[in-house]
Every structure is written in C-alpha cells, then in structure tokens.
Structure 1
Amino acid sequence: MPNETVPPQDPRALLRRHGLRCTAGRLRIMFLLRSSGQHLTPAEICTQLTRKGSGRHSTTVYRSLEALTAVGVLHAVPGPGPTRYGMSDEPHHHVACQRCGHVADLPSDPLADAVARIEQLTGLRPGTSGSLLLYGLCAACGD
C-alpha cells in the first residue's frame, strides 16, 4: 500500500521543474499540506511544523508560501480571515465559509456545466488558476 503522505510527484523534481531551490523548509511545507488534506493558514502551518519538531520562523514560512504559490505548486484561497494554502494535483474549485473561513475543494469535472453557465450569465470565468471560489456557511456555522 503506498504511503499517502508522500506526494505522487517527487517534490524535489517538482521544485526544480519550477525553478525553485529545493530547501528543507519548502519540502516540509509541501509534505504538511499534502498530508493534512486541508487548506491551512500560515499560522497553522507554523504551529504544525513546530509540533513536528521542524519549526521555522514565520517570515521564512510566508516567503516559502509566496514562492510556492507564485509558480503554481501551491494555491492560495483568500479570506474571510487569513489566506489559506493548499496543494492538489487535480483541477478544482473552492468553497469557503464566510464565518469561520474553512475551505473545501470541489472537483472541476462535475461542475463544468455550472461554470459554463456562470460565465454565460455573468461574463465571469475562472482565473488563471482555473478555480472559482464560492462563499457560504459551513455545516457548523450554518446552524
């Protein structure tokens, strides 16, 4: 059985392909986001790295997140609240709770018709990341 915490692509090769240095901090962030399966804030990333014994200064984490997002290794999902970062090999959209900020992925394929209809009605289309962001209330906040 394959180790589910290891990205399907070699992270070192992925960084090199995008012209980034392969640093321990970047690798730890990539593994953390992949293994968590969640979109995390920079503060949550710092906290979890510290818990795992590989803490990094928050400035280093922010710089790594910016670099990884700029080349498309990670994606950023803006507020409400702090930006959250995620990692996925599959094209997808996002839903975000407008109260607590929780972010969840939505697969692109089942939404292709809806995305086309949104573009037809509004002229809006997915941005350069290919993702739409929808806001609402999660189950915990909607009660």
Structure 2
Amino acid sequence: MTPQRQLVLDAVSELGHATPEAICAKVQEIAPAVNITTVYRTLDLLEQLGIVRHTHLGHGAPTYATGEHEHVHLVCHRCGTVDEVDADLLDDLAGTLARTAGFTLDPTHVALSGLCSRCESESDAEPVAQAAASGKESV
C-alpha cells in the first residue's frame, strides 16, 4: 500500500459516502501533489480488492464508501437527503429475483429513489395550504 493509496483509503473512511472529487480534495489537504487521476485509479484498485464499493446515488459521479457499509441508500429526489437502511430489508425481493429471474441481488450496492418523510409530509400539506390560500376547502 503506497502512501497515496493509504491517503485515499483514509479519506474514503473519514468522509463516508464521497465522490472522487471530494476524496481528492481531502487527500490534497495532506498531499497537494495527488491528482484526480491518481484518486480514480486508486479507487478502482481498492474496489477490485473489495476494500471500497461505489454506489450511484442519482445523477452524477458515484460515491465511495468502505466495504463495511452493508446498507441500502434511500435518496430523496426532492431535497437530496441520503438515508441508510439495513440491506436485510431487501431479502424478500432478493429471494423473488433469485426464484423468478435467476438473478442474485447485491443489496449493498443499491440506491432507491423516492421522497423522505419530511418531503412527503410537505407534499401532503401543499394541497391544504393551496386551498387555504385560494379560500377553498380541500376535499
């Protein structure tokens, strides 16, 4: 493990879910000469070794976390909040996919998109607020 690779791994561990750009910025705080290409190559190697994994949390760059992160990501497509739940919650889906499609799901590499509870509550309140503003009752 070279010093640069160790710095990348340390940055991933410290930042949690981070893009390569954020990881590079963290590494450059200690080693300014390390460039983004080195970070990408190191992340690729660390992933091949099973030390880190990447997840696409939406559009844009993937995020990286250490391999010990065994969870499913819940991404709010309105506010961008990312929550985590146990991967075990997808056991029924994994079983169904295995039986019906012969597909083995890796639930720790999954991001589900939807609305977080806060945004969902705001969505439920909007029709009432709009009706009150217009002087009409909601049905």
- Name the TM tier (shorter chain): 0.5 to 0.7
Q: How well do the aligned residues superpose, as a CA RMSD in angstroms? A: 3.1
Deviation at 1:121, TM superposition (A): 9.3
Structure (1 or 2) with the greater helix fraction: 2
User: Is 1:54 matched with 2:6?
Assistant: no
* Structure 1 gaps, min length 5: 1-21
2:22 corresponds, among 44, 47, 65, to 44
Tell me which residue corresponds to 2:92. Answer: 113
* Structure 2 gaps, min length 5: 123-139
Tell me which residue corresponds to 1:24. Answer: 3
CA contact (8 A) 1:81 1:101 kept: no
1:84 corresponds, among 59, 63, 76, to 63
Q: Secondary structure at the match of 1:34?
A: helix
Deviation at 1:105, TM superposition (A): 3.5
Aligned residues: 118
Tell me which residue corresponds to 1:133. Answer: 111
Q: Secondary structure at the match of 1:30?
A: helix
Deviation at 1:42, TM superposition (A): 0.8
Deviation at 1:54, TM superposition (A): 2.2
Normalised by the size of structure 2, how large is the TM-score?
Answer: 0.64
How far apart are the structure 2 equivalents of 1:40 and 1:82? 9
